[in-house]
Amino acid sequence: MMIQQSTADAETHQIASVVLFREARLLDNGEWNDWVAMYQEDALYWLPAWLNEYETTRDPSTEASLVYHDKRRCLEERIARIESRKSITALPLPRTVHQISNLEASRTASDEIMCRSVFSVCVYDPRVGKEQVRHGRYEHTLRLTGDEWKIARKIITLANDKIATVLDFYSI
C-alpha cells in the first residue's frame, strides 16, 4: 500500500523539522538568546512529573512538575542566571547533543502546527567526566507570528526520569 503525502502535509512537516532541528542546534551550541527568541512571549514550557508508571501529572498549577515555566520571561531569567556565572550547578556547563526523530506534524489551523516527536539527549558533564542519556517525547505547538514560526507550547515527557545530576532546559 502506497501512502501519498499532499504538498500541504510535506510543507507542514518541513516547517516543523526546521523549527525543531534549529531549536536542538541552538541548545547544543549554547546560543541561549537565539534559542529563547524562538518562543512566544506567553509560551508554555513544561516537563510534568510521573504520577506512577503509566501516567504523568496533567495540571502544573495543582500537581508536581520537574520543570514548569508559563512565560518566556521565566526562561530568560534562567538564562541570565547561567550567564551570570553565579549558578554553581552549571559551572562548567555540560555538553549536549540533541537528537530528534519520528516527527509527526499536522496543521490545526492555518497559523498553528502540532508536532510530536521523540528525542534523546546525550549529556557529558566535564566536572565529573560522566555521561548520561535522557530520552522521551516532545510535543510542540508552533504558531505563525508575523512571518516567523514560534514555539507556543513545549511539553517534554521524560521517559528516564531518575536523574542522577542537574536537569535544566539545555539538557532535555
Question: Does some domain include residue 109?
Answer: yes
**CA–CA distance, 103 with 86 (Å, rounded to integer):** 37
Tell me the C-alpha distance between 170 and 121, whole Å.
9
| CATH code for the domain in which residue 139 is found | 3.10.450.50
**pLDDT at 125 > cutoff 80:** yes
Looking up cell 501519498 gives 4
Note the pLDDT of residue 109.
94
Phi/psi of residue 162, each to 5°? -85, 95
pLDDT at 3 over 80: no
Would the pLDDT of 91 be above 90? no
pLDDT attached to residue 5: 63
Q: What is the pLDDT of residues 126-138, one digit of tens each?
A: 888 999 999 999 9
Query: CB neighbours of 124 closer than 8 A, spacing ≥ 6?
Result: 94, 95, 96, 130, 131
Location of C-alpha cell 540533541: 98
The pLDDT confidence band at residue 4, using thresholds 50, 70 and 90, is low
Number of compact structural domains in the chain: 1
Mean pLDDT of 120-130: 92
Q: Are 38 and 22 in contact (CB under 8 A)?
A: yes
Euclidean distance between CA atoms 90 and 92, whole angstroms: 5
Does any domain span residue 159?
A: yes
Range of the domain at 159: 7-171
Q: Within a domain: residue 132? A: yes
Percent of the chain with pLDDT over 90: 77
pLDDT at 121 > cutoff 70: yes
Whether 72 is in a domain gets the answer yes
Query: What is the arithmetic mean of pLDDT over 140-169?
Result: 91
Residue 38, pLDDT score: 98
Q: How far apart are CA 13 and CA 140, in angstroms?
A: 13
Task: Note the pLDDT tens digit of each residue in 60-90.
Answer: 999 999 999 999 999 999 999 888 877 666 6
What average pLDDT does the segment 93-98 reach? 94
State how far the Cα of 111 lies from the Cα of 29, in Å rounded to an integer: 29
| DSSP for 128-163, written as a single string | TTEEEEEEEEEEEEEEEETTEEEEEEEEEEES----
Q: Is residue 2 part of a domain?
A: no
**DSSP state at residue 38:** T
